[in-house]
Structure 1
Amino acid sequence: MAGTTRFFLLQIFFFISSFTIGTYLFVSNLQSLASLQQLQTQKAVDYHLKNTSLNVDAETLSTQLIITFNLNRLIIKDLDGNILDSEPGRTSLPALADLIHNSTPLIRPQYVVNNDSNLKLEFTINLTNEIEYAQTQFYVFVFFIITLSFVPFISVKTIIKRAQESIGNNMSLLVDSFIEKNDKNSQLDTSIAKQSVSAIFPSIVRLNTYLKRKQQEIENSALSIKQQAFKDSVTELGNRNLFVEYYEQNIENTEVNQFGTLAMVRCSELQLINQTRGFHHGDEYIKEVAQLLLKAAGTYAGATCYRLNSSDFAVLLPNIPIKESERFGQDLQAKFTEYQRGVELSSVANTGIVSYSSTKPLGELLSQVDTALSLAQSKQVNAWHVQKESDLMDNVSANFGNQNWRTVIDDVLNNSRVQLLIQTIMPTNRSARVYSEILARFKTAEDQILPTASFLAMAEKLDQIFHVDKMIVEAALNSIKTLNLAGQFFGINITARSAHDEQFLIWLERRLLKDSNISSKLIFEISEFGLQQNVKASKRFIDMIHRVGARITVERFGVGLTSFKFFRDLKPDFIKMDASYTRGLEEDKNNQYFMRLIVDLAHRIGVTVLAEGVESQEEKHIVEQLCLDGAQGYYIEKPREI
């Protein structure tokens, strides 16, 4: 094979060398031919001009010269430069010669001056026939060297191919015999090797040993890769893929009927922690919940835990009846409540519990446990709920989770069960004008704090979000008025769905005009993603806010990668950088460069830039260095009662 490659490279070298030399000679020949013909024609034209009668007009002279000397182009002028007659070029060079002519001109304009006849001639000669003949010879030469270069190679390839086929047949015979003997665990007959390719027979034996070792390594590697593909990187638990595979192989598709309990645990505060404290704290929160689940499930034989997505965990408790699973729910709630006290959260997680069996498909089971989880979320903090089979028999009860949420939301709205907290945004320079953000927390009739993210999500799902936003605005205005805080600036969060609703817009405008002295101190926060959903409605909302004297903050900026033309058209007053840009800012030079660019562009259009999720002294220092106007986060100030 190496010899074939060398032979092929030599043939390529021969072709390139021959082609290069032939091309050089061809170009040189064309240049010599053109130079000689042009010199001869120039002398002949000069001689003809000296012996031509002075009475011949320019047009007749032009015709004579073109016909006599086979000129391609001719211009006749008098000595003052006036054109007496001209004949444009009639023919063009062949393609290859024209390509050469464009790089190194072959045919150049020639000049003849005759003072006696007061004439000056400029012409080019016609060498089309001569060049076509030379070009044809060059093509023949190229064909010849191609033949000499590649025909031998094709012949050699044919010979080698036949030799390889012969060797391959002998190899196949030897390998088949070797496999047959190995399958029978008998000694290989060496006479077969001698008849075929005895020189490589020992190599075949070594190859067999090597392949067996490699097969074992590949199997081990595939097992390791499968384990990595089925493992969650944060908690080291199995992921959703492993959960589905385990359920299908060990429960759903087994001959022996399996039964047990499935618990789904949803981390209620993950989104809030990611937004306010940073993703690092969110990961730590998830790890702690995972450890609590492992401790609670560790007392049950064969229990397995999985992380299904960012906020949901699944726990399978084999052979545990639904009645006994209540103890598991109580144990989890106790562990979550104890953890909650140490980390200052409004809640940790909720748990939905259902029974499973081999006859129940996984899709149906997940739908039932989601309903149980919805019921648990509508109860007290860190609550759990067991969805029994008797509850599932009635089709009407399938949506009981949503109905229970509706009851809870109606109770919150009817009794204004909302608690307001504030978190100050610290200005980073003396000229910056910032504000304190008002945060809403919702309570049950038992004075338990509901998970904020779950409450707002269910309120939007059940078309109650407009009333929730109205309640928050009313509560904020009343608190500011009651506590005589009209001299301070406050931010209030508004959902995009409310901001884009015309009826809500009308109500909000009338309500703000009613307390115009307070309205001028309010800043309404709405997410960048929400504004993008309906730009026209967003502009209408922002125009109304500015009309009543209030201002606008675009929060979670940078997630949607919205263009600054979008903000120039909407004219917000503040943008609040998403917490993901603040996390680890002191070490991430790319984030620093991006935030500095945002600050420069925002300041050019008169927009104040704030940072949220500032959790350390280093992050605060970098925010100040990057010239942001304000910083918000647990390092600056934790939420407190208004």
Structure 2
Amino acid sequence: MSGLKKFIYIQVSLWLVLSFISTYTVISAFKSYSSEVQLSTQRAISLYIKENPLNEEPKTYANNIKKLFNLESLKIQLNKNEVLFNQTSNLSYLPFVINKVQDLSPFIRTQFAIDPDQNLNLEFTVKMNLAADITQSTLFLMLFLILVLVITPFITLKSLMKQAADSVSEAMSNMIDNFVKSDEQNKQLDSSVAEGAVSSIFPSIARLNLFLRKKQKEVEDSALKIKSEAYKDSVTELGNRNMFVEYYSTNIEDTDKPSFGILALIRCSELQLINQTLGYQKGDAYIKDVSELVQKVIGTYSGSLCYRINSSDFAVILPNIPLKEAERIGDALQAKFTEYQQQAELSSIANTGMVAYEAKKPLGELLALVDTALSLSQSKQANAWHIQKASDVLDNVSANFGNQNWRQVIDEVLDKSRIKLMIQTISPTNRSTKAYSEILARFKTEDEQILPTASFLAMSEKLGQISHVDRLIIESAIDSIKNKNLNEQFFGINITAHSVHDEQFVIWLERLLLKNNNVSAKLIFEVSEFGLQQNVKASKRFIDMTHRVGARVTVERFGVGLTSFKFFRDLKPDFIKMDASYTRGLEEDKNNQYFMRLIVDLAHRIGVTVLAEGVETQEEKHIIEQLCLDGVQGYYIDKPRDI
């Protein structure tokens, strides 16, 4: 094989060298010929104009010279100032190769002829089209002959090699047949059968037989690795869904050995947007970056495995990890995603749902649970995570619902208005603040069991019913305020970002509030900061409508996003409600105290009231009052109660 490569290298090199030499020789010869022709033409024209003075029309005189001496361009001047005739050319008549040579190294140049007696100056170029055509044809012919000369040995070599291979194949076939026949007769690999032509090849065949036996086990061991390569995702180099299903079936679902751990489902929330706006290459880069972040987090856990099970989802298996460790994993993933989000300037990166698994657990049931956990995480802030715990499976009606069951439950709640309203008071920290009570919705099954609110809202959004749920909450709240004669109080109602950005919903809400104008002035609609950021234009349209009808708006969960105060100046909300994560342990966290005080100062400058939620201790309430927030909400202040 090395000899063949060397032969090919020599032949290609020979072709290149001969081609270069031929090209250089032909072009050089043409240049020399051109120089001689131009020089002889210059001498002839100089003699001609001396013997034939300009006594006729300049154009006729010039045409005679051009025709007589085969010129391409000609310029006749009198006394170096007066131009009697001028016809130029750009040498475009030259064939392609000669024209390129002329561009790189001009050899057809302007020539001059002078007659001092007449004060006559001639500038001209000689037409070389015929010689140029002959030169290019000669060059192509030589290159073709050189190519034939180089290819011919290849053709001959191929024929010789085929004959040699046929001869060797026939000889080897005969030797192996003799060996096999001898072995079949004696039932053993006995060297006594190696006679004649076979005797020389018998030791090699015996060694080959031993080698193949040794290799057989290696081939069997590598089969699983080859299969893994076939099941590999091309973008991330991770295993795909088929490999994930096979691993789970073999090592968890169908095993008799004790097995437990954590299954996590991670969904890349921005893939579709990136593919549509930046292209699929950027989408692949985003997926690859997320996969690397996930592997960095889980790489510290022994035996952890990560698979890309579809375009936007990763499945992570963490064997022998207790569920209590899932919180640490979720926090680590969220931290990595948030850091990457700031670098990539995206609104979010990925959400995570986690569940515990054990041996014999059906994969379909487990995926339904982890998908519910993922839906719940998506109802929180950007890059959030959620754990579906064992107690959820036992206590919550929703735990084992699939999409179809959820759809039936949601339809039943909407058709029968199975909703229960509760309120939680927001306490003002000073007399000048106008606080309000937040209305909280609870949803009931047919047998009056309370559904988990987060699960219900997450599945409603997933199944495209969230706007109808928001309508039910608002209508029920207005009816309760009117029926219980609560027109003197102020009430906050949560609305999802999906409804805020739905133009039909906004039109419906405006008509409802105008119809109930005595109640609308008492309503404050709460929308998450993250939700408002998704479509600033639609968010502004909603807030403007709310203000027109006399209602107000609160931006809740403030501080988990990257919103600037220019965003608030443009949208002009009435309240912001700090996320509960800033309240927790506030008395010991000086950084959170400094941040909240900064937010309060800036918000008050633009006329925005600042509230705190999640207040659960006297110490937290005391610090919040010192930081000059306007209101507090939480279990320490007031627990949710029936409206």
Q: Same fold, TM exceeding 0.5? A: yes
- 1:602–1:9 CA distance, 2 compared to 1 (3 A): farther
> SS in structure 2 opposite 1:416?
strand
Structure 2 CA distance for partners of 1:138 and 1:404, relative to 1, 3 Å: closer
Alignment partner of 1:470 is 2:474: yes
Query: Counterpart in 1 of 2:369?
Result: 312
* Counterparts of 1:104 and 1:600, CA distance in 2: 66
Measured after TM superposition, the shift of residue 108 of structure 1 is 1.3
Q: What is the identity, as a one-letter code, of the residue corresponding to 1:496?
A: S
Residue aligned with 2:215, SS: helix
Aligned to 2:286: none
Structure 2 counterparts to residues 15-34 of structure 1, below 5 A: 15-34=15-34
Q: Percent identity?
A: 19
Alpha-carbon shift at residue 16 of structure 1 (Å): 1.0
Give the C-alpha shift of residue 204 in structure 1: 2.3
Could you tell me which amino acid in structure 2 is paired with residue 77 of structure 1?
Q
Post-superposition offset of 1:279: 7.9
Structure 1 SS opposite 2:7: helix
- Superimposed CA distance per residue, residues 161-189 of structure 1 (whole angstroms, 9 cap, x where no aligned partner): 22123223444555677788999963264
Corresponding residue to 1:218 among 222, 225, 240: 222
Cα distance in 1 for residues equivalent to 2:199 and 2:26: 58
1:500 matched to 2:503? The reply is: yes
Aligned residues: 487
Alpha carbons of structure 1 residues 463 and 553: separation in structure 2 relative to 1, 3 Å: closer
**Does the C-alpha gap of structure 1 residues 347 and 499 become closer, same or farther in structure 2, counting only changes over 3 Å?**
farther
How far apart are the structure 2 equivalents of 1:2 and 1:183? 39
Q: Distance in 2 between matches of 1:183 and 1:601?
A: 91
Distance 2:202 2:547 in 1: 93
Give per-residue Cα distances to partners, 1:402-436, cap 9 Å, x unaligned. 5555555667x566334559899xxxxxxxxxx99
Q: Secondary structure at the match of 2:109?
A: coil
Partner secondary structure for residue 125 of structure 2: strand
Partner of 2:343: none
1:457 match? 459
CA RMSD of aligned residues (A): 6.3
* Matched residue, 1:47: 47
Residues 157/215 of structure 1: CA separation in 2 closer, same or farther (3 Å cut): same
- Which letter does structure 2 place at the counterpart of 1:506? E
Alpha-carbon deviations, 1:266-312, whole Å to 9, x = none?
A: 999x99x99xx86847999965x415xx3xxx7xxxx4443667652
Deviations 1:224-255 (A, max 9, x none): 789999xxx99x9x9656778999999xxxxx
Distance in 1 (alpha carbons) for counterparts of 2:332 and 2:495: 24
- Report if aligned partners of 1:240, 1:308 keep a CA contact under 8 Å in 2: no
Match of 2:139 in 1: 138
Q: How far apart, in 2, do the equivalents of 1:156 and 1:166 lie?
A: 15
Change (3 A) 1:504 1:349: farther
8 Å contact from structure 2 (residues 353, 370) kept in 1: no
**How far off is 1:507 after superposition?**
3.8
Separation of aligned partners in 2, 1:160 and 1:48 = 69
Residue of structure 2 equivalent to 1:148: 149
Is the 1:442–1:449 contact (alpha carbons within 8 Å) kept by the matching residues of 2? yes
Amino acid at match of 1:312: L
Equivalent residues of 1:528, 1:555 under 8 A apart: no
- Where in structure 2 are the equivalents of 1:8-157 lying within 5 Å? 8-89=8-89, 92-157=93-158
Alpha-carbon offset, residue 461 of structure 1: 4.1
* Contact map agreement 2:15 2:150 (CA 8 A) in 1: yes
Question: Would the aligned equivalents of 2:425 and 2:438 in 1 still touch at CA under 8 Å?
Answer: yes
Correspondences of 1:377-388 after superposition (within 5 Å): 381=396
Indicate the residue corresponding to 1:164 in structure 2.
165
Deviations 1:471-496 (A, max 9, x none): 587599999x999789xx99753543
Write the distance in 2 (CA, Å) between the matches of 1:67 and 1:607: 87
Secondary structure in 2 matching 1:290: strand
Distance of aligned partners of 1:104 and 1:513 in 2 relative to their CA distance in 1, 3 Å threshold: farther
Measure how far apart 1:349 and its partner are: 6.4
Deviations for 1:56-94, whole angstroms, at most 9, x for unmatched residues?
331122112112211111122333544322334497112
Q: Does the aligned pair in 2 maintain the 1:422–1:438 contact within 8 Å? A: yes
- What letter matches 1:306 in structure 2? L
Deviation (angstroms), 1:107: 0.7
Q: Could you say if the C-alpha distance between residues 43 and 415 of structure 1 is closer, same or farther in structure 2, counting changes exceeding 3 Å?
A: closer
Structure 1 residues 436, 96: closer, same or farther in 2, change over 3 A? farther
Alpha-carbon contact 1:423-1:639 (below 8 Å) kept:
no
Q: How does 1:414-563 map to 2 (within 5 A)?
A: 416-418=420-422, 440=440, 442=442, 444=444, 448=450, 450-455=452-457, 457-458=459-460, 461=465, 464-470=468-474, 474=478, 492-496=495-499, 499-502=502-505, 504-507=508-511, 509-510=513-514, 514=518, 524-525=527-528, 541=542, 543-545=544-546, 547-548=548-549
Deviations 1:180-225 (A, max 9, x none): 8999963264348737856843552354134313222123536878
Deviations 1:433-452 (A, max 9, x none): xx999794525497856242
Residue number among 168, 173, 188 corresponding to 1:186 in the alignment? 188
Do the aligned partners of 2:529 and 2:556 also contact (CA within 8 Å) in 1?
A: yes
* Offset from partner CA, 1:98-128 (integer Å, 9 cap, x none): 1211211121122334343233322110122
The amino acid that maps onto 1:70 is N
| 1:201 aligned onto 2:212 | no
CA distance in 2, matches of 1:452, 1:145: 80
Residue type of the partner of 1:49?
A: I
TM-score (norm 1): 0.56
Partner of 2:318: none
Give, as a single letter, the amino acid of the residue that structure 2 aligns with 1:468: L
Judge conservation of contact 1:509–1:548 (CA < 8 Å) in 2.
yes
Secondary structure of 2:121's match? strand
Compared CA separation, residues 204 and 612, structure 1 to 2 (3 A): farther
Structure 1 segments unaligned to the other structure (5+ residues): 251-265, 315-342, 352-375, 388-397, 425-434, 557-573, 578-594
In structure 2, how many angstroms separate the alpha carbons of the residues matched to 1:140 and 1:39? 29
Contact 1:499 1:505 in 2 (8 A): no
- Flag the 1:605–1:209 CA change in 2: closer, same or farther, 3 A: farther
Between the aligned partners of 1:267 and 1:6, the Cα distance in structure 2 is: 56
Matched residues in 2 for 1:176 and 1:613: separation? 84
Distance 1:611 1:123 in 2: 88
Counterpart residue identity of residue 214, structure 1: E
The structural deviation recorded for 1:465 is: 1.6
Distance in 2, Cα, partners of 1:167 & 1:32 = 57
Q: Given that residues 438 and 492 in structure 1 are in contact (C-alpha distance below 8 angstroms), is that contact kept between their aligned partners in structure 2? A: no
CA contact (8 A) 1:419 1:442 kept: no
Change (3 A) 1:285 1:152: closer
Question: What is the CA distance between 1:30 and its match in structure 2?
Answer: 2.1
SS in 1 for 2:420: coil
Instruction: Letter of the 2:459 partner, please give it.
Output: A
Aligned counterparts of 2:6 and 2:513: Cα–Cα separation in 1:
86
Change (3 A) 1:160 1:139: same
Any idea what SS the aligned residue of 2:56 has? Answer: coil
The answer to whether the 8 Å contact 1:494/1:524 transfers is yes
Cα distance, 1:102–1:462 mapped onto 2, change above 3 Å: closer
* Matched residue type, 2:138: Q
- Pairwise CA distance, 1:141: 2.4
| SS state at 1:510 partner | helix
Gaps of 5+ in 2: 256-262, 269-325, 336-349, 372-384, 429-434, 604-609, 621-632
